[in-house]
Amino acid sequence: MDLSGKHLVLGLSGGIACYKSAELCRGLIKAGATVQVVMTEAAERFITPVTMQALSGRAVYGSQWDAREGNNMPHINLSREADAIAIAPCSADFVARLAQGRADELLSLLCLARPSGLPLLLAPAMNREMWAHPATQRNLAQVRADGAVVLGVGTGAQACGETGDGRMLEPDELLEDIAVHLRTDRPLAGRRVLITAGPTFEAIDPVRGITNHSSGKMGFAIARAARAAGAEVVLVAGPVALATPRGVRRIDVQSALQMQAAVQAEADAADVFVAAAAVADWRPARAHDAKIKKDGSGRPPALEFVENPDILHGVARSPRARSGALYCVGFAAETHDLEIHAAAKRLRKGVPLLVGNIGPAAFGRDDNQLLLVDADGARPTARAPKEALATELVAEIARRMPARTGFDTPDFQRTIAR
């Protein structure tokens, strides 16, 4: 994640989640951002300004009467260079203050005096009853209507001993959300991207099956990159042990048939389909209901296989894909003669762009090298981390997509749907 050149005001209001803000601040700095911390009096009860100063490398502000500013106006000066203000933790009281437009302490005053258009991101943190209270929900609706972005909350054990909604998101989750909002170029804004990832698992019986070495890392990285580029992302994932990228809707499947059903249900709403999954080519003709036992003869059971449907080919043949309304991207995992196989596969699958890679050099690894194959030929990328390749690929897809006419923008569609 690269936040170099970005300047953030990180506001802390009072809550036990302040301890997570130290980690968040560190993460922001590590990603290259500069951070100006502002704390309320209550926040200073939970964590000291000394900690936040040490982590941010800047003196922390806490009072609107702070005489360090030449004009004595920290509430104006601090936000003027910022690319965003993030309040983490944002307490129930602080949400209420924002909803009312209060200005009797520095942090709420600073939010009220922020330039119009400067993103205000809120990471709520509170007890589950406080979170669910109609007053809090009413205030959240109000601050949203006033232009703030509410980043959502986590669920689970709370410091008070209760369990439920209202925990502040974890520092890495916040970092990812903040990065999305700090990004000014969002080439896939308003687009819907459907991605398949990981292997499929084809059951032989309830305890066995066939699968492959795909880790799903590339498909998940593409989902993260597409979301960062502004897209609404649906990720159809085979059995992998990877965390769902923030803001991405995930549909878990096991078999190729389940993956196909999930893709078919989502493809009509998509603008882009990226088939990054390593779909098993064959499945056992019949999955046994009970475990197949050894019969004592020393002979293994004879398994019969049938071919799985080609999910990508099916989508690429659909009228929407043929008309250009759905841009399809395929992958090819090969072991040799990559360019020849990838070029042939692109034609066979009927897709405008096919991404080739050498399977054994890609499966399970954190880096990879891609070969982008289209009608004009093939272009290799550098060997790089999968995250970086995913960002490059998403930018490439965005460049290749047909420009919007104005009639197919989300705004126009909403207008005619009314």
279 binds ligand CTP (CB under 6 A): yes
**Rounded-to-integer distance, Cα 234 and Cα 232, Å:** 7
DSSP letters, 155-172, are EEE-TTS-EEEEEPPPHH
Q: Which of 115, 174, 180, 107 is closest to 147 using CA atoms?
A: 115
Instruction: For residue 245, give the 3-state DSSP assignment.
Output: coil
Give the per-residue contact string, 324-343, with ligand CTP (x = CB under 6 A; - = no): ------xxxx----------
**Choice among 18, 25, 160, 328 that is catalytic:** 160
How far apart CA 359 and CA 154 sit, in angstroms, is 37
Is residue 352 at the binding interface for ligand CTP, with CB under 6 A as the rule?
Answer: no
For residue 327, the minimal CB distance to ligand CTP (Å) is 14
- Which residue lies nearer to ligand CTP by CB, 31 or 287? 287
Residue 111 annotated among the catalytic residues of the structure: no
For ligand CTP, which is the closer residue by CB, 57 or 380? Answer: 380
311 vs 390, beta carbon nearer ligand CTP: 311
The least CB distance from residue 124 to ligand CTP, in Å, is 39
Peptide bond into 115 cis (omega under 30): no
| Token code pair at residue 265 | 């249900």
Indicate the DSSP class of residue 61.
B
Q: Is 371 in the site for ligand CTP (CB under 6 A)?
A: no
| C-beta of residue 85 within 8 angstroms of C-beta of residue 120 | yes
State the nearest-atom distance from the C-beta of 174 to ligand CTP, in Å: 33
> Site for ligand CTP (CB under 6 A): which residue of 33, 82, 275, 316?
275
Residue 21 or 214 with smaller CB distance to ligand CTP: 214
For residues 351 and 215, what is the distance between their CA atoms, to the nearest angstrom? 24
Distance CA 218, CA 284 (A): 27
**312 near ligand CTP, rule: CB under 6 A:** yes
Pair 124, 168: CB distance under 8 Å: yes
Per rule CB under 6 A, is residue 13 in the interface with ligand CTP?
no
Residue 245, preceding peptide bond in cis (omega within 30° of 0): no
The yes or no reply on residue 220 touching ligand CTP (CB under 6 A) is no
Among 310, 328, 346, 370, binds ligand CTP (CB under 6 A): 310
List the catalytic residues. Answer: 160
Chain positions contacting ligand CTP, by CB under 6 A: 196, 256, 275, 277-279, 281, 308, 310-312, 330-333, 345, 349
